[in-house]
Structure 1
Amino acid sequence: MRGLNCRAKRTAVRSVISSANPCIVCLSKTKLNSVSSLLVLETLGAPSADFFFLPATGTRGGILLAWRCDRISLANPIIGTFHVSATVSLGASTTPWWITSVYGPQGMDEKLAFMAELHDLRDMITGRWLLGGDFNVITSCADKNNGNLNPRTMNRFRRFIADHALRDIYLHSRRYTWSNEQSNPTLVRNDRVLCTPSWATINPHHMLRCLATAVSDHCPLVVNCASRNLGKRRFHFERLWPKLDGFLTTVDEAWNSIPPDPDPFRRINSRLKITARRLQSWGRARRATSPFSFKLCAKSSTASTWRKIHV
């Protein structure tokens, strides 16, 4: 956050948080030596919020882990040098899982201590685990837009992920999460969310995305675990259909089945919809009644890709 000791900054942060309406909020680099309930209220805008926090060292670091008490419960805090962790309970009938908010250091020696602390933390806790924040370290060359890389640090981070069988949750709609905001910017994916396979199993609809903000040089990350309505399946025209018997008849009957309409735009829209539906039904029926089905794979003479032709 680059500091929450300014009321204008807390107001700006609250507007971003309100747009996502989360149950749990993890803020790093608060630059606060102490956190009060009033400050959390100004930042989250939720009177029913509770929190754990890691004090900043002077004007560096600081983590705030807050949650809505009316929706969720956090307990058993573990506060380290670079993280704040707690158990999350959704109700009496559910098994608690662990959440960790991190803020990775920039110095090389501190990065080693950071990785060691995360290893020790995992040895202390068991079960489902979700951890995220500003790790200040990347996993591959693709996480940075220039060649200024540290292979040893990347290898250590990848080894930590592999040793504890963690999943790097896919980030939708954005490749990088931090910018130095220069005319020729350095772009890095310093921020990410990791989880254990068991956590992903109990949250099968989880999705990680970014929010837009002018408050920080980092992009806020949102993990949404609610089920989503994927909507209707899009119409897909098969290239093979015009070569099959019955295609033209199906199109002709569907196109002319719409009653007259004086509005030409509404008329063409209705004809396209009914034709698409009839073709989908005709295609399914043809596949179901076909005496055989096979795939013919032919390698193109001008490309190394393969074409699949369904008959």
Structure 2
Amino acid sequence: MDCISEIEIKALWGNYSFEYIFSEAVGASGGILCVWDPCYFSKDHHILSDNFVALYGTWIPKREKVLLISIYAPQSVTSKRILWDYIASLVCRWNGLCMVMGDFNEVRCKEDRLGSVFNVQGANEFNGFVSNSELIEIQLEGFTFTWTHPSFKKMSKLDRFFVNDGMLSSFPHLSAVCLDRHLSDHRPILLREVFTDYGPTPFRFYHAWFRFEGFDQMVFTTWNNIALDDRNVMIRFKKNFNFSKRRFGFG
């Protein structure tokens, strides 16, 4: 779209608690819309291009400066080379958290394409950009390919998230999930922080302890001498384990 209204953005976002900026489409291609919640991100300034939107600002919950770059790369190898050089210069000059994301229209290895020609030069230049910018890719879960041709005979992994060390330090539990495709030929990708609670530390036991003379008898005697007054068998069993862990230094 060469223009977009707040009513249309509200329909996508769900409410009016947002700020936004967009790069207009050129003909039938391009167009980048960035929308954010002003309670979480405060924009200082931005750079607009046909192929990217760069947002400079503050991530409010952590009070840290952040650079967010959303990319829609061109098809031409030469144009992409120019884009990579420019984005790398922005990233290398930035002193803060950084994330580069979007449709890069390029793959990093042969396995990222199915049914189409793999361009070695293009992949090498793309990987060079990632390396020179000192960016780290967030691995995608869910689906291998993010773009599918309408014929389903061609598929590629074109969409990615890259972050710098600072971003990973502030958000160490980042995870990207590739979702089901509906209206677009690209799959939407959800980037989120996933905190996994595996519960208490498992009971740790070394098989080598069985080789110690008298070990079996020690455990047997100690277990039978534990005097716990609890009518619930399972709770009594659990307390026996806890007592044994403290007694022998297990776990």
Alignment TM-score, normalising by the size of structure 1: 0.65
Structure holding more strand per residue = 2
Give the count of matched residue pairs. Answer: 245
Is structure 2 residue 140 aligned with structure 1 residue 198?
no
Deviation at 1:280, TM superposition (A): 5.4
**Structure 2 SS opposite 1:85:** strand
The whole-number CA distance in structure 1 between the counterparts of 2:242 and 2:110 is 46
CA RMSD of aligned residues (A): 3.6
Unaligned runs of 5+ in 1: 1-31, 262-266, 288-311
1:240-289 alpha-carbon deviations (Å, 9 max, x no partner): 454445357537838x989676xxxxx6x668756765675567x269xx
8 Å CA contact 2:32–2:72 kept in 1: the answer is: yes
Residues 116-265 of structure 1: matches in 2 within 5 Å? 116-122=85-91, 125-128=93-96, 129-145=98-114, 148-180=117-149, 182=151, 185-201=153-169, 203-215=170-182, 216-225=184-193, 228-232=195-199, 233-235=201-203, 238-244=206-212, 245-247=214-216, 250=219, 253=223
Is structure 2 residue 20 aligned with structure 1 residue 51?
yes
Cα distance change on mapping 1:220 and 1:235 into 2, 3 Å: farther
The whole-number CA distance in structure 2 between the counterparts of 1:126 and 1:145 is 36
**Structure 2 SS opposite 1:55:** strand
Is structure 2 residue 58 aligned with structure 1 residue 89?
yes
Deviates more, 1:239-248 or 1:109-118: 239-248
**Structure 2 SS opposite 1:89:** strand
The whole-number CA distance in structure 2 between the counterparts of 1:194 and 1:142 is 19
Deviation at 1:86, TM superposition (A): 0.9
Unaligned runs of 5+ in 2: none
The whole-number CA distance in structure 1 between the counterparts of 2:11 and 2:247 is 59
**Structure 1 SS opposite 2:25:** coil
Deviation at 1:102, TM superposition (A): 0.6
**Structure 2 SS opposite 1:230:** coil
1:4-46 alpha-carbon deviations (Å, 9 max, x no partner): xxxxxxxxxxxxxxxxxxxxxxxxxxxx110111111011112
**Amino acid paired to 1:177:** T
The whole-number CA distance in structure 2 between the counterparts of 1:235 and 1:173 is 32
Percent identity between the two aligned chains: 19
Deviation at 1:103, TM superposition (A): 1.0
Deviates more, 1:89-98 or 1:51-60: 89-98
Cα distance change on mapping 1:271 and 1:96 into 2, 3 Å: same
Deviation at 1:197, TM superposition (A): 1.6
Cα distance change on mapping 1:127 and 1:257 into 2, 3 Å: same
8 Å CA contact 1:127–1:198 kept in 2: the answer is: no
Deviation at 1:75, TM superposition (A): 3.0
Cα distance change on mapping 1:106 and 1:95 into 2, 3 Å: same
The whole-number CA distance in structure 2 between the counterparts of 1:100 and 1:109 is 20
**Amino acid paired to 1:126:** W
**Structure 1 SS opposite 2:186:** coil
8 Å CA contact 1:169–1:195 kept in 2: the answer is: yes
